[in-house]
Copies of this chain bind each other. A is one copy, B any other.
Amino acid sequence: MASEQPVRSLSEFAMIAKLFAPLAAKAPGAFALTDDAATLGLAADEELVVTVDALVESVHFLKADPPGAIAKKALRVNLSDLAAKGARPRGYLLALSLPSWIDDEWLTHFAAGLGEDQENYAIDLLGGDTTSTPGPLTLSITALGSVPSGKMVRRAGAMPGNRVFVSGTIGDAGAGLQLLTQQDNGISASDRASLIARYRLPEPRLALGRRLIGVATAAADVSDGLIADLGHIAETSKVRIVVDAARIPLSPALVNLWGRGGDAILRAATSGDDYEIAFVVPKGAANEIARAAKETGIPATEIGRVEAGDGVALIDESGAPISIARPGFTHF
């Protein structure tokens, strides 16, 4: 930056035309962001799946975070919700409340981050709103997807006897957040970078999620924490979920940082921000899940089972319950 002062030379309309309209260029229903609303058509046998998430500076990200990474994370946490529901992403809306310190350069990098992820996930900007704020940067993204009518994978639906799976590895994002506030932790630069990347840039598991349609009886994305999010499935499905602690998949980088003991597993299973999919399938579907994992390149690990009852139990290799003080993140 040449100047000490933040410089936002672009007016609201110029900003939309220059930075955001190109992100809507491929969506005919976005009308180049020049209308009051956008349109989206669905096939006759499809229904809309819609979700919104708000992200607030200093709550969900730091002011100093790279703007492109903030943009991508905001988009990805929403896409992760669509992934867990088996939905195909169709478009998104962005509401942006900008403090005065946001300058043209920040906005340019923010829009560039969105553009890169639009390519990554085949989704276009459909519309949005920009306002000023005297407070922290706040953004909300509404993601729109589609599923075959009536086929969305819900949280309710898990049945006793079903098996519980989770995609990818758990705990990396929690470790990444820890690393951002600590300097010396005795792990390699590459482990450090990979864990921080998992915090900053979750990978919505869209390809795997779409394979769950018609197979999974229940699913949720892991945002609050594995135990907490399985708890949401248990509660809405009115079942008990039993998780084998030793089967929870941990990345090599996480093991290098936290080890493989009970404390590490408990921390991984409750730290949140993983944006993996926790899902439940009938006992006979394990082969189908293995095939979907192989074909999508997204690992899926069986970690437990569904029983009659309620709540989530984490058990050790002897079958004894591990006490969970705090199952996951709560916003307040």
Contact = CB atoms under 8 A, between A and B. Distances in A.
Nearest to A145: B37
B48 A129 contact: no
A270 interface: no
A48 B39 contact: yes
A320 to B, nearest CB: 28
A52 B155 contact: no
Interface in A32-46: 34-42, 44
A131 interface: yes
A135 B132 contact: no
Interface stretch (A92-100, A240-248, A309-317): A92-100
A38 B47 CA distance: 10
A99 to B, nearest CB: 8
A209 B155 CA distance: 38
A114 interface: no
A52 B54 CA distance: 13
In the assembly, how many copies of this chain are there? 2
A149 interface: yes
A230 interface: no
B126 A50 contact: yes
Interface string A141-154: 01011010100101
Given A36-B221, A50-B37, A97-B56, A133 B132 contact: no
A116 interface: no
Interface string A47-84: 11111111110111000000000000000000001101
A47 B51 contact: no
Interface of A: 8, 11-13, 29, 31, 34-42, 44, 47-56, 58-60, 81-82, 84-85, 87, 93-98, 126-136, 138, 140, 142, 144-145, 147, 149, 152, 154-156, 220-221, 232, 235-236, 330-332
13 contacts: A12-B330, A36-B81, A37-B81, A37-B82, A39-B147, A41-B48, A50-B93, A52-B93, A52-B95, A54-B131, A56-B134, A134-B135, A135-B136
> Which 7 pairs, one residue from A and one from B, show the smallest C-beta to C-beta distance?
A135-B135, A37-B51, A54-B95, A95-B140, A142-B142, A44-B44, A41-B47
